[in-house]
Structure 1
Amino acid sequence: MTLTQGNTIDFDSARLKLSQGTSLAGTQPVQTSELSLDAVKDRLTQQLQTSLEIDRILEMFFQELRNFLGLDCLEYRLDGNGLHQRIGQPGLHRCSYRMTHAGSFLGEIVFSRKKRFSESQLLALETLLGNLLYPLRNALLYREAVFCAHSDSLTGVGNRLAMDRTLDREIKLSIRHCSSLSALVLDIDYFKQINDQYGHACGDEALKAVVNCVRGCLRDVDELFRAGGEEFVILLSDTPASDARLVAERIRSAIEGMQFQQHGDSIPITASLGVATRQLDEGVRELLERCDKLMYSAKRSGRNRIGIQ
């Protein structure tokens, strides 16, 4: 039978515990290994300030608690942010904490091990969680800042900066591993007419609807970027030309079949796509230029089409 103990810990309270040391509730200092609680706190204070990467911070935190309290597993989850990390193998006995600070939810952390936790060990866990406060909060803020810097504010997909960096990286990987790399350039047909007839707010909703539609046609490893306006770039790693064409047709068909409505009006949306697979010694600029040309060729051929070589 699994023992699960759940708690909500406010990091403001945890910080108070941290400042009070180990004399909380009249308890004696906890020492379950060669290290004292104060020594572990000092080590954590030094180590957790050396990184802004959440996975690295949690790894360092787990290693210290494993040595000190014999933990077998740490699980961290922040739903809505796509964060879920597990370190180690879950044990029979668990205790979980929903962490908050200044009214903000910082996620849920679950500790587990084979042996039951004693009251003094649970107190030590809660005290040491106070050391996680600022490193975890700063890592979450850093992650959000990086996301915002690389994301289109309207649609949430990667922006031009993210696209350039990802393309450069993927082309280097393609060269190194001799793997196929395909790209799609997608442009929404007659988008200006949607803006002119229904307003820019409707145009914004149309962009978001197209993004959601395209995402539903892609693998988790595929990348979607907004290059500007109504133009998007899709990057398909390790994908040969034949498969890229199938993906492009799936996207084109899905967009055409969308049921997009605004104020009771059904608004038809289609897109034209250019598909290209990286050729030998071809760089980022050359690959995108070929995609662009093929996309405009599809436009000239009547729109709602795929331009391929």
Structure 2
Amino acid sequence: MSLLRSVTTSVNTEPSVKRQQRQALRAPLELQLTLPRLLGGTLDRDLVLQRFHEIIGNDLDIAHLDLIDDAEHYRFSRGTAAGHQLCYQLKIENEHLATLTMTRSLPFNEQEMIWLEQAIVHLLMPLKHALQYAEALEQAMSDGLTGLGNRRAMNQALNRCIRSSHRYERVSSLLMLDIDHFKNINDKHGHAMGDHVLTVLAQTLHSALRLTDQAFRYGGEEFIILLPEASMTGARIVAERLRQAIDGMDIQGIFPTVSIGLACLRPDDNLNTWLNRTDQALYQAKRQGRNRIVDDGQLTD
């Protein structure tokens, strides 16, 4: 285990009266008894960091704690940033774990930094286990080819959205995309190229969405886009943006297009009825000539 420390001190000095208000730090033995018990009792990475912040915050008046794990695109941020910053690169056996940054209104003295580093030592293993657990969960919920959420992840996300939308009477929308004539791509160019097309389109979908939107691989060449709190008008704008982005692509001589079905959540919808209505809209888009958008309000027998 290793820590690489960097300190940034504000140009503004604090009044001496504030310096005298610092409370005594708890003994190292108390840290050794308290931190492993509280931090090791959960695999929830947010909860591990929240508890750590609460413990050290009481002793060192840490106003803001921020942790970034670039490898897993994870960030935890709690509190309000202040003028004096202390940053650590967390490593275990030369493996970079994360970057931990803490700020407060008073400068950190050497005794406090040594105490804090003793506390961080007790954070490292619980944090590593929690990050590994989150990674395993994410892999179990991800499509192996495209990296998008899989059907299991989709079902959970849609059910959460349905409950939240019904509870707070909010509108949400669902898109179902299907790559037009995908079988022809596989037959003419091979399945490896077909997989490449799926991967490129998945990346396009992911990069074109809001942070609150989610993309999933539904199966084969079909994708689901969940648009929380998006009206029919807003969802159509997103759908058209995606359709145009894909229509203009050239993937090694392959020019894909997509058909899109759209349905807004209704008060009496459940997972199956919402998906079925979106699927019907997609089927009608393909029946009308492909490379177009049809919403459930346009459905005809």
User: TM-score under structure 2 normalisation?
Assistant: 0.86
Corresponding position of 1:181:
172
Corresponding position of 1:12:
none
Are 2:11 and 1:8 aligned? Answer: no
Are 2:57 and 1:66 aligned? Answer: yes
Counterpart code for 1:140: L
Corresponding position of 1:4:
none
Q: Residue by residue, what CA displacement relative to the aligned partner does 1:182-206 show, whole Å, maximum 9, x if unpaired?
A: 1111110111222222222211111
Q: Residue by residue, what CA displacement relative to the aligned partner does 1:71-113 show, whole Å, maximum 9, x if unpaired?
A: 3332211124222223233333322211111332111112333
Q: CA offset at residue 34 of structure 1? A: 6.0
5+ residue gaps, structure 2? 6-21
Conserved 8 A contact 1:33-1:69: no
Are 2:187 and 1:220 aligned? Answer: no
Conserved 8 A contact 1:32-1:68: yes
Aligned counterpart for 1:202 among listed residues 193, 202, 208: 193
1:154 partner SS: coil
Corresponding position of 2:85:
94
Are 2:115 and 1:124 aligned? Answer: yes
Are 2:293 and 1:306 aligned? Answer: yes
Structure 2 Cα separation of the partners of residues 232 and 109 of structure 1: 37
Q: CA offset at residue 229 of structure 1? A: 0.8
Are 2:282 and 1:295 aligned? Answer: yes
Aligned residues: 278
Q: CA offset at residue 272 of structure 1? A: 0.7
Q: Residue by residue, what CA displacement relative to the aligned partner does 1:152-174 show, whole Å, maximum 9, x if unpaired?
A: 11111111001111111111222
Corresponding position of 2:131:
140
1:260 partner SS: coil
Counterpart code for 1:93: H
Alignment of 1:158-173 (within 5 A): 158-173=149-164
Question: For residues 90 and 184 of structure 1, do their structure 2 counterparts lie closer, same or farther at Cα, with a shift above 3 Å needed?
Answer: closer
Aligned counterpart for 1:286 among listed residues 256, 268, 273: 273
Corresponding position of 1:46:
37
2:282 partner SS: helix
Q: CA offset at residue 259 of structure 1? A: 2.6
5+ residue gaps, structure 1? 1-6, 10-30
Corresponding position of 1:253:
244
Q: Residue by residue, what CA displacement relative to the aligned partner does 1:242-276 show, whole Å, maximum 9, x if unpaired?
A: 22222222211111011322xxxx21100111111
Q: CA offset at residue 125 of structure 1? A: 1.8
Corresponding position of 2:261:
274
Counterpart code for 1:157: L
Question: For residues 102 and 201 of structure 1, do their structure 2 counterparts lie closer, same or farther at Cα, with a shift above 3 Å needed?
Answer: farther
Aligned counterpart for 1:241 among listed residues 215, 232, 235: 232
Question: For residues 56 and 282 of structure 1, do their structure 2 counterparts lie closer, same or farther at Cα, with a shift above 3 Å needed?
Answer: same
Q: Which moved more, 1:60-69 or 1:113-122?
A: 113-122
Question: For residues 86 and 279 of structure 1, do their structure 2 counterparts lie closer, same or farther at Cα, with a shift above 3 Å needed?
Answer: closer
Conserved 8 A contact 1:272-1:295: yes
Conserved 8 A contact 2:72-2:135: no
Conserved 8 A contact 1:40-1:64: no
Q: CA offset at residue 146 of structure 1? A: 1.1
Structure 1 Cα separation of the partners of residues 231 and 82 of structure 2: 44
Are 2:202 and 1:211 aligned? Answer: yes
Structure 1 Cα separation of the partners of residues 207 and 98 of structure 2: 27
Conserved 8 A contact 1:40-1:68: no
CA RMSD of aligned residues (A): 1.9
Counterpart code for 1:302: G
Structure 1 Cα separation of the partners of residues 221 and 175 of structure 2: 14
User: TM-score under structure 1 normalisation?
Assistant: 0.84
Q: Residue by residue, what CA displacement relative to the aligned partner does 1:43-67 show, whole Å, maximum 9, x if unpaired?
A: 1111101221222111211221122
Structure 2 Cα separation of the partners of residues 63 and 280 of structure 1: 41
